Amino acid sequence: MAKKIYESGTIKLLDGTEITLGPLKIKYMREFMDVFNLVKLTTTDEQSITVLAECATICMRQYYPVIQTRDQLEDALDLPTVYKTLEYCAGIKINGEKEDIDKQAKEENENNTWESLDLASLESEVFLVGAWKNFEELEYSISMSELVAIIEKMRDLDYNEKKFLAAMQGVDLDKENNQDANAWEKMKAKVFSGGETSNPNDILALRGQNATKAGFGIGMGLSYEKIERKKE
């Protein structure tokens, strides 16, 4: 049975130091996405690489605070390691040669749903746990995958309690709440697929927490390739 909320990976710096990386905490992810959105404004490969290096520097501030600036990052990581850092910390895969970076990064940006998420509502729901003194502390403490996992468990517990009380009154909540449950599953599919699908049954949604719960998925024995249909 899968027990991990998220996948992690290890990178090696140029000096041989090994660092284990995983999803960014929400506070760092906010900063990461603000910088990553600049990719769509770049016009050259060099500019794209500069933006990606800034994103990787943000990742290092969480996982290896010795690196605080892009200059320090460039002295410590080669380009392939920068790409792996983005993959482990933000789920963004950059493949191919340097000339493809701008195109691939922009495609990832178009699929991003960070701005479309009602993050304030989700955080407000989790804040009721009472484990954090303010929202800033919450954002420094958990990642998006952890946020979704906590909300899912809270809703399960709350629903099971309501279901029991309703059953005592002869009411079947499963039938009445089917629509809300489907909306929640669609939201999770959208988060884990990076905005590529809202269908919970789509293979693109089978990654991150969804993949670990199922025991397989993208990054866990499965991969996929986008095929662009040629216009006639």
pLDDT in tens, 198-226: 666 555 555 555 554 544 444 544 454 55
pTM score:
0.66
> According to the model, what pLDDT value does residue 82 have?
94
> According to the model, what pLDDT value does residue 168 have?
73
If you average pLDDT over every residue of the chain, what do you get? 76
Strand positions, DSSP E, the chain = 9-12, 18-21, 217-218, 221-222
Model confidence at 96: pLDDT above 60 = no
pLDDT in tens, 130-146: 889 999 999 999 988 88
The domains of the chain are located at: 9-111, 119-222
> According to the model, what pLDDT value does residue 221 have?
46
Model confidence at 16: pLDDT above 80 = yes
Question: ∠55-8-70 over CA atoms, to 5°?
Answer: 20
Question: ∠35-40-43 over CA atoms, to 5°?
Answer: 110
CA dihedral over 129, 133, 139, 140, signed as positive or negative? negative
